[in-house]
Amino acid sequence: MINTVSLPSQAVRATVEAGEPDSPLVYRSILDVPFGNTIIPQVRRVTSQWLTRKKFDRAPLETGTHHLDAHTVLTSQALYHPDGTEQALRIQLREDRPEATWRVTITAMSPAREDERQSVAVTLECFENGTARLSPARPALVEQLVTALRPRAGLARLTLQAQQVTTVGVDALVDILCDPDRRIPAIVAARPSQPDGIWSRRLRQLMPKCAGDAALYLLTDAEAVHTFREAVGAHHHVAPGALRTFLPDVDPAWSADAPRHRILSGARIRDPKDQAFRLITRYVHQHALEAQVPARLRDLAFPDVQQRKQEERRAAQDTAARTHPAADEHAALKEENVLLNQLLAEGDRDLSEAGQRELLAERTIKALQQQVHRLTEQYHQEMEEHLFTLEGAEQAQNESRVLRQRLYAQGRAEDTIVPDQTAAQPASFDELWERLGELDRVLVTADRRIVLGLDDHELARIWAAKAWQALRSLDSYATAQNDGLVSSGYYDFCRNASVPGARIFPIKQIAMGETEATRSAWGDERIFNVPAEVHPSCRIEMGAHLKLGTKGRVSPRLHFYDDSCGPTSSVIVGYIGPHLTNKKT
């Protein structure tokens, strides 16, 4: 039976949003470089070239605060070892624009001991000044540093484009994936069976944007793809044309580990209308943003630039006072007055600069407080989900125990042995969409873009598993209706659980309709596509819904229409996506 249909596009107001950023820190990359020639001169050189490309041709990089133009400030700081060699460098470019204040910070450190790693960190902060949402892109400086410094992540070498992996190199790739010192993702793409221009072009676009934040690899041919599958097993393999993002701590021997590592199918990469390949970049960047900053970078303490400038001013005043003879006291006073006015102007500018830095610091602290609050809410939400799952599992175990005891009492001990037929839960909505063909009595007309957009959220794995549970329950119900095993609706089907082998959904997470207030105000949002035989307009209201999440800004829902006794003999699912508007949203 066909489980997806193409109908007129639906004007659904709800879209998947990543949410307003809680922190002005929108990008961070940390590059580790093997000990060798000091990296600080190279970082200074690459940064100078980057500033030149940004039209700051003569940007001074010596220690101090430099006003490049009316709205751009460049600050450079240095830290030295006791022997006078450079230990660390920090360069910060701040641009005060009408739409936002942008601040890029480059920090490089070179330890004195050869057994320690050299590191470079690049951060981008965006302090928005208005209501317009901005989409910051990571600085091109990162790609330039990757080229110049040749950083590593454990056994992995970081490059701009994917490193070619033939059959001979598969064992080394597996070692890299399992390397405990690799703390960044590794992207492994498998070349499709047939050449495809869209696939190749998108791979060339994607890889440089992930450079520095992921190790990049390409299985070059069918033989390499097969060898890789043999090496890592069926659960962790990468099919021809697919792309997989392996997180750290890969365990090929444990099948339950596989869902952690996201897969993007070749069909989606080749689909010109599907832009999911862009989410890989965001996913990798988010992982880099959440990674812990190494103590060697976090604990750096640079001398205060303003304090140094004040000392230089006092020294200049003392020098001026000593160099003028008493006989020419009037001329000396005039010259000193000019110098003091210059110092006063510089002091005013420094005061303004200090005020701007203090304002940005206050905004950062406030954003971090909001982030802590959001993470706390997310923790409680996950805890509630786990407790709810534990409650359901315990109830199922109790029912199983009672039924086994009854069978034993009847002398039917052999009937208590049940073969393990548990199917793996989908690890993403992308995988769920691919498996819709397993459902016989569920017809999905939901907007695919909205469904797959849920994969961009941290709880996507949990939501996808619950959505699959919901779809299988609806399929079980519709099948029972067609077999004449039930005479009531879906809610009673789950509440009574009287049908043998019925797959039920938790009663507390079933709503068979919306309130009258919600229908009056936002009923149009709940009108979704159906086949023409169900309604001539191909549209119908679907108030019944299942709750895939209970809290948070997204709190996804699955809306459906029960046509199990109608012309399609199925349950029609018109929407899977973020919570639609009601009085609480």
- pLDDT score at 370: 77
| Position with higher pLDDT, 338 vs 493 | 493
- DSSP string computed for 341-399: HHHHHHHHHHHHHHHHHHHHHHHHHHHHHHHHHHHHHHHHHHHHHHHHHHHHHHHHHHH
Residue 297, pLDDT > 90, answer no
- What pLDDT shows up at residue 379? 75
Q: Is the confidence at residue 527, as pLDDT, over 90? A: yes
Would you tell me how many other CB atoms lie within 10 Å of the CB of residue 276?
Answer: 17
Give the pLDDT of residue 212.
Answer: 94
Q: Which two tokens stand for residue 322?
A: 């000593």
* pLDDT band with cut points at 50, 70 and 90 for residue 10: very low
pLDDT of residue 543 exceeding 90, the answer is yes
* pLDDT value of residue 479: 95
Q: Is the pLDDT of residue 319 over 70?
A: no
Mean pLDDT of 327-342: 66
- How much of the chain exceeds pLDDT 90, in percent? 49
Q: Taking the CB of residue 432, how many other CB atoms lie within 10 A of it? A: 23
Q: State the CB neighbour count (10 A cutoff) for residue 313.
A: 18
pLDDT score, position 108: 94
**Least confident span in 48-62, 165-179, 384-398, 548-562:** 384-398
CA distance 394 to 288: 38
Q: What tokens were used for 473?
A: 């329950």
Buried b (16+ CB within 10 A) or exposed e, 168-195: ebbeebbebbbbeebbbbbbbbbbbeee
Is residue 368 scored above 90 in pLDDT?
no
Q: In this structure, how many other beta carbons lie within 10 angstroms of the beta carbon of residue 3?
A: 20
What's the pLDDT at 17? Answer: 37
Average pLDDT over residues 26-40: 88
Measure the CA–CA gap between 52 and 93, rounded to whole angstroms.
13
The edge-to-edge listing of strands for the beta sheet with 156-157 is 64-69, 72-80, 86-96, 100-109, 118-128, 25-33, 152-153, 156-157
Closest of 264, 259, 267, 265 to residue 236, by C-alpha: 259
Task: Please compute the mean of the pLDDT values over residues 439-444 and round it to a whole number.
Answer: 96
Higher pLDDT pick, 36 / 408? 408
Say if CB 441 and CB 571 are below 8 A apart. yes
Most confident of the ranges 51-55, 110-114, 130-134, 415-419: 51-55
* 468 vs 308, residue with greater confidence: 468
Q: Is residue 77's pLDDT more than 80?
A: yes
Residue 307 has pLDDT above 60, yes or no: no
d(CA 444, CA 278) in angstroms, rounded, equals 25
Q: What is the mean pLDDT of residues 391-416?
A: 80
Give the residue-averaged pLDDT of 89-103: 92
| Three-class DSSP labels, 85-146 | CEEEEEEEEEEECCCEEEEEEEEEECCCCCCCCEEEEEEEEEEECCCCCCCCCCCCHHHHHH
Contact 202, 265 (CB under 8 A): no
On the question of pLDDT at 224 being above 90, the answer is yes
Q: Which helix (H) or strand (E) holds 496?
A: helix 490-496
Higher pLDDT, 373 or 443: 443
Lowest mean pLDDT across 191-205, 392-406, 437-451: 392-406
Mean pLDDT of 386-407: 77
Name the range with the highest mean pLDDT among 116-120, 461-465, 574-578.
Answer: 574-578
Q: For the residues 422-442, what does the mean pLDDT come to?
A: 87
Whether 106 shows a pLDDT value over 90: the answer reads yes
pLDDT value at 3 more than 80: no
Q: How far apart are CA 163 and CA 98, in angstroms?
A: 42
C-alpha to C-alpha distance for 202 and 217, rounded to whole angstroms: 14
What is the number of other CB atoms lying within 10 angstroms of the CB of residue 496?
A: 12
Question: At residue 146, does pLDDT exceed 50?
Answer: yes
Tell me what pLDDT residue 7 has. Answer: 42
Find the helix or strand (DSSP H, E) in which 522 lies: helix 516-522
Q: How confident is the model at residue 450 (pLDDT cuts 50, 70, 90)?
A: very high
Query: Of the candidates 548, 570, 544, which has an alpha carbon nearest to the alpha carbon of residue 559?
Result: 544
pLDDT range class, residue 18, cuts 50, 70, 90: very low
Given a contact cutoff of 8 angstroms between Cβ atoms, the answer to whether 43 and 86 are in contact is no
Q: What are the structure tokens assigned to 102, written together?
A: 């942008």
| pLDDT at residue number 19 | 38
Q: Which residue has the higher pLDDT, 427 or 512?
A: 512
Rounded mean pLDDT of 199-223?
Answer: 96
Strand-pairing partners, residue 572, are 443, 561
Per-residue pLDDT for 462 more than 90? no
In sequence order, the 6+-apart residues with CB closer than 8 A to the CB of 104 are: 92, 93, 122, 123, 124, 125, 139, 141
Can you give the pLDDT at residue 6?
40
What proportion of the chain, given as a percentage, has pLDDT over 70? 86
Q: Flag whether pLDDT at 573 surpasses 90.
A: yes
- The whole-number pLDDT of residue 324 equals 53
Give the contacts of 282 (CB within 8 A, at least 6 positions apart). Answer: 456
What integer pLDDT is reported at residue 348 of this predicted model? 63
Give the residue, 499 or 342, on which the prediction is more confident. Answer: 499
* 539-545 mean pLDDT: 95
pLDDT score recorded for residue 497: 76
Q: CA 218, CA 198: separation in Å to the nearest integer?
A: 16
Q: How confident is the model at residue 427 (pLDDT cuts 50, 70, 90)?
A: confident
Average pLDDT over the chain, rounded to whole? 85
DSSP letters for 31-78: EEE-SSS-SHHHHHHHHHHHHHHTT-TT---SSEEEEEETTEEEEEEE
Q: Which long-range contacts (CB under 8 A, 24 or more apart) does 142-148 make?
A: 142/29, 142/211, 142/212, 142/213, 143/208, 143/211, 143/212, 144/46, 144/49, 144/50, 145/31, 145/43, 145/46, 145/120, 145/212, 146/31, 146/211, 146/212, 148/42, 148/45, 148/46
Q: What is the pLDDT of residue 309?
A: 55
Judged by average pLDDT, the poorest of 214-228, 289-303, 426-440 is 289-303
Segment among 215-229, 304-318, 433-447 with least mean pLDDT: 304-318
Amino acid identity at 286: Q
Q: Which amino acid is at 237?
A: H
With a cut of 90, say whether residue 88 has pLDDT above it: yes
Taking residues 376-398, report their average pLDDT. 75
Question: 242 — phi, psi (to 5°)?
Answer: -90, 170
Range 495-522 average pLDDT: 87
Contact present, 199 and 270 (Cβ < 8 Å):
yes
Segment 140-149 mean pLDDT: 95
DSSP characters for 497-521?
--STT-----GGGEESS--HHHHHH
| Secondary structure (3-state) at 423 | coil
Q: Average pLDDT, stretch 109-120?
A: 83
